[in-house]
Structure 1
Amino acid sequence: MIEELIRTVSATDDDAIEGLRAIADAEPERLTPYLGTLLDRDVLWPGTLYRAADAEVVRRVVERVDGGRTPDRLDQLLVILAHSGHPLAESALRRWSTQPPAGADRLHVDALSYARVGGWTVGPDGRRRDLCGDVAYEWVMRAGPRRADVATCPWCASPRWTAADLHTADPAVGAALAHTGWSGRLVIETCHFCACYTTLYSRVTPAGDTAWWTGNARPVHLGSVEAEDPPALVPVPGAARRSPYQASAWERGGSTLGGRPDWIQDAEHPDCPGCGEPMDYLGLVGGADLDEYGEGAYYLHLHRPCGFAAVTYQQS
């Protein structure tokens, strides 16, 4: 199957690329022997195909950037390196952040900022920090309790939605949140409506406390809105995913705790309002799992040192 896809693939062959993308999500290492051929054929997108790139392929991509032969493809080459997460890629991105390669003047951010696309970053101490976990679990929707005393959104007066209620005593939760350093209960409440318009932050504690952050700013384009009930569902951990890349923002059953996000738009790891560092990714709740006609996806984030959680939303 892979051989046939590789034989027919080209940068404009959507069917073959989608077939390879599915393999990269489920078993990325199966593509490793073929990535050199994809590079030869100038198939540089999506960069997720190169998640399991070996040192030789990464070296070739770095040499292509350094050679400046295709500055118009620099964005795609940097995305490939970010997704590979390889030490050679990390070294190159660090170098290019101070010594920009040809074509860098066309980018919106410096080279090292591309690391976030691959789910990692370099902290103020100069050390690499992974923003995502390496294990993932299905997030199954269950009916949540209806409470009369639930807090409401200060902007639209909608009852707040419990987007997550987790405890690291659960082995699945502990594994999925290991990269965050969190220990204890984690409750994330948000406004399911207003989160569609802006990043909403909350203060959280390991005791399960959650509070609306007073620094949240109401979007000027939100307009006049009426209160509406939040989803009557709360996600609970289910079976382990085969791969950390199997979240789906589009399909029913795609909601996932841990692992890597399936971004609908560009990668979006919000900055912690306490310290400015990018927040860790926790999981994805797909609109298709919340409502029969739901769309888009909610992305949950956490920064343990400062005690902040965040909810972002994307749709096509």
Structure 2
Amino acid sequence: MIEELIRRVAAEDDDAVDELSAIADTEPQRLTPYQGLLLDLDLLWPPKLYRAADADVIRRVIEQVDGGRTPDRLNHLLLVLAHTGHPLAERAMRRWAERPPTGADELHVGPLGYAPEGGWTVGSDGNRRDLCGDIAYRWLMRETSRIDDAPDCPWCASPLWTATDIDTSESAVAAALAHTGWSGRLMIETCHFCACYTTLYSRVTPDGTATWWTGNIRPSYLPDAAEPEKPPALLPVLGPARPSPYQASAWERGGSTLGGRPDWIQDADHVGCPGCGQPMDYVGLIGGVDLDEFGEGAYYLHLHQPCGLAAVNYQQS
């Protein structure tokens, strides 16, 4: 079945691409035996099809980059390697950061700049850091009355929205946030309106305090709201475990997820910590369709434990 799907993808069958992508999200290892065929047919998109690539396939991709015969494909090849997150891929990308391969001068970022697309980075200390976790739980939306006494957004005067309120004393939360190093209660407040226009940061402490970060800069293109908007009277609560960390969905109802890997609508956007400049750790995704019947887009939650800062950014098609 998978081999037939791959041949349909080669014939530009979009439905087959969707079916293969669904497999990559639920059981990526099922694609491992067929990734050589994907390469043979020059099928490099979407790169998440290579999440569970084995060492032989990764070596073939590295050889293509080192060969320099197809610099026009370098972008896709680097995305493939980033999504594998394999030590061989990391080693090659570090090497190319020092000695760029043919075609690198046409890229918008250096080879290691692709790593966040796969959910990892190389820190200022030279060590690899995973920005995402491998354990995920569905987020269920429950009605809340906490907006009644919420502080107002300094920009639009809308009540701030509690995007999450969780505690690592619950073992499932601790597992989902293990990669962040956070311990204690984590509450992230944001403006559901202004966050659609720029990344918003807040200071957070392990006792559950969240305060608007005074360094937030209002963008000039932020529209003036005629009147404050009430945020969703909904709070995400922990649901069942996801069988795969890749099953968050920015599009489908029920796709909101704590932990795991984000479903980016656009390019990966692991926001930088304003305290130290390092990429922040990914916490979870809240889909617009889970907040409102006609909602769209998705809110992405981030955390940097060493600096005590959280962030929310937003993407839509």
Distance 1:154 1:51, change over 3 A: same
2:139: which partner in 1? 139
Higher mean displacement: 8-17 or 246-255: 8-17
1:132-169 per-residue CA deviation (whole Å, 9 max, x = no partner) reads 00010000000012454310001100000000000001
Whether the aligned pair in 2 keeps the contact of 1:199 and 1:310 (CA below 8 Å) is yes
Whether the aligned pair in 2 keeps the contact of 1:11 and 1:42 (CA below 8 Å) is no
1:313: which partner in 2? 314
Consecutive unaligned residues of structure 2, counting only runs of 5 or more, are none
Alignment partner of 1:92 is 2:92: yes
CA RMSD between the two structures: 0.9
Using the alignment, how far apart are the partners of 1:257 and 1:209 within structure 2? 19
Using the alignment, how far apart are the partners of 1:286 and 1:224 within structure 2? 25
Structure 1 runs of 4+ with >6 Å offset = none
1:220-276 per-residue CA deviation (whole Å, 9 max, x = no partner) reads 001311311000101011000010000000000000000000000000000000000
Alignment partner of 1:78 is 2:78: yes
Using the alignment, how far apart are the partners of 1:165 and 1:117 within structure 2? 27
Aligned residues: 316
1:274: which partner in 2? 275
Using the alignment, how far apart are the partners of 1:235 and 1:246 within structure 2? 17
> Taking structure 2 as the reference length, what is the TM-score of the superposition?
0.98
Letter of the 1:103 partner, please give it.
G
Whether the aligned pair in 1 keeps the contact of 2:147 and 2:159 (CA below 8 Å) is no
1:101: which partner in 2? 101
Alignment partner of 1:14 is 2:24: no
1:252: which partner in 2? 253
1:177-192 equivalence runs, <5 A: 177-192=177-192
Letter of the 2:308 partner, please give it.
G
> Taking structure 1 as the reference length, what is the TM-score of the superposition?
0.98
2:288: which partner in 1? 287
Whether the aligned pair in 1 keeps the contact of 2:147 and 2:160 (CA below 8 Å) is no
Higher mean displacement: 147-156 or 215-224: 147-156
1:203: which partner in 2? 203
2:127: which partner in 1? 127
1:236: which partner in 2? 237
Using the alignment, how far apart are the partners of 2:307 and 2:272 within structure 1? 11
Using the alignment, how far apart are the partners of 1:148 and 1:267 within structure 2? 34
Letter of the 1:121 partner, please give it.
T
Using the alignment, how far apart are the partners of 2:9 and 2:215 within structure 1? 49
Alignment partner of 1:299 is 2:296: no
1:56: which partner in 2? 56
1:9 alignment partner, SS class: helix
Identity %: 73
Using the alignment, how far apart are the partners of 1:49 and 1:11 within structure 2? 17
1:267 alignment partner, SS class: coil
Using the alignment, how far apart are the partners of 2:59 and 2:15 within structure 1? 28
Using the alignment, how far apart are the partners of 1:6 and 1:197 within structure 2? 38
Alignment partner of 1:264 is 2:265: yes
